Chains A and B, each alone.
Chain A
């Protein structure tokens, strides 16, 4: 993995600090070309991995990259699935099972229909999970997706429920079908690491908030420090600026001092901010 990964919150009006700012961003990035321009800036600054949700609009980015393979030959997607809000709203409208049915692939593949129908009937979570993963992965066909993530809403729901086997099923499917590394995003990193270990998922890629003020690091700051020191996993730090609560230099300097962090994922809307983060990382995180 690269040391710097580019995130996508800024493109979809996600801002943990201000709803006004979030709205301004969603206006600015309404035209997909504005998103692509920022991705081009990042790419040209040497930030070549895009860690993105499987939001419908990402499909347009995928189309753009596919159309110019020469220009984007070093560009990687790290898909993070699922985009949870579409499922949450569907559950309100159609109920749990109705929503599930709605998101089963409907391209008429006999195989998919069988796998889905049979799985639903047999209460076999493996079939359902793999089908949902495949449905979410469709937009990335032909593009490089070396790591595929399960989003924190799902990871932490499964973690809380004790649905541990699902992590194993996801990991196996992603490796087998996409030849990719499974990744897990969580707000409860120490607790998740224990479960992944128990499930025999070795040296997992785990992305969680890691920042100097301990913002959304559930289980506690010390538990995170301890995990970074002692556990065998590949850590990705997100929310390193804690939504802007920490000044960039202070934030990056601190993260770069922590042991065992392999990558930082960050979001930015301008070439200047991308360059600043890149320079700070180059300065405080010597190779």
Chain B
């Protein structure tokens, strides 16, 4: 039985608590939050041991693992304290706002051989896993471009007073929404060499961004474009989509389905057709022990538990090291956006390289 604590009982923390509490291999030994109110209600009705003091909880409760779902600005310090105690850590995303701190805790976790995982749950969505499988199998040949999008109705008016509306605490469309498609692009293409054209715009929020656009550049000439908006009411809930173009076709995926167009079918992919093949979530999703809000949320926690049981630290999906890469791309985009546009329309026009004379001009002259 793994003894575990949940820290931070906001939207994510509370649902993590519910799912992990239902896990047969886990005993939730304590929960911790600064809001005494939620704690008191939980304690009164479920009997769980509660703390408002994180340090005191670490001192007093015998634990093997911890789930940290506090605002991102608090992650680095809490993760470090937990690792120092020898605990396996599952931390919410975005991981660390300061990438140097992210690298430090990544190193500590690796040295201690502890399981470290960050809650990028889209890597546990069947359709996005299928995309990874297809890319690894070389399904669409050489990848040339990725379009990664996320839209949803979170901030729809100029109001709101939680940490999620402040970039300094890890709030905003870039940290909350764009982090997910960026993380998927990192999974599919690796780290970009540079970013450009980053736009972090406010639509309604005073202290953070509501729409995010930008380009990631890769070695070998590949590129990815990011288009994210969390003030889009035309979506019922968060919708994340990936489109990937390659020399042999195109892949489109969202949470429900994976559509593939193949010009030729590689031998490594039996069951696929020339032209379109569509696979749906009903086919791509593995059953979970407990369902609250999508299989992926349950699956990532179950995976965390299994990694602990198997003593497998370091090489797991969504490790601190991989989440720190996503943090780095986020930092690059912030820095790029601050620089502003790379070329102004009023400036002297660049000299365009003259085209070589074509065959017709050569033959007939002018």
Contacts and interface: CB of A to CB of B under 8 A. Distances in A.
Nearest to B162: A95
B159 interface: yes
Contacts of B292: 153, 156-157, 160, 187
Interface string A209-233: 0000111111110000000000000
Contacts of B290: 156, 160, 188, 191, 218-219
8 contacts: A17-B256, A19-B254, A92-B160, A93-B155, A95-B162, A153-B293, A162-B21, A218-B290
Given A161-B42, A165-B45, A245 B282 contact: yes
Interface string B75-102: 0000000000000000000000000000
B214 interface: no
A166 interface: yes
A34 B154 CA distance: 28
A18 B15 contact: no
B293 A19 contact: no
B211 interface: no
A157 B10 contact: no
A218 B257 CA distance: 21
A243 B280 contact: yes
B154 A160 contact: no
Interface residues of A, number: 48
A187 B45 contact: no
Given A19-B257, A95-B162, 20 more contacts: A12-B236, A15-B256, A17-B281, A19-B239, A19-B256, A85-B236, A92-B155, A92-B160, A92-B164, A93-B159, A123-B44, A156-B292, A159-B22, A160-B19, A161-B21, A162-B47, A187-B292, A188-B290, A191-B22, A218-B291
Contacts of B269: none
B290 to A, nearest CB: 6
Interface string B279-308: 011110101111111010000000000000
Nearest to A96: B38
A242 interface: yes
Nearest to B41: A123
A97 interface: yes
B153 interface: yes
B220 interface: no
Contacts of B10: 91, 95-96
A100 to B, nearest CB: 10
Contacts of B37: 97, 123
Contacts of A158: 18
Given A89-B154, A156-B292, A213-B282, A163 B11 contact: no
Interface in A130-171: 153, 156-163, 165-166
A157 B16 CA distance: 10
A94 interface: yes
A269 B96 CA distance: 47
Given A12-B236, A16-B281, A98-B161, A218 B287 contact: yes
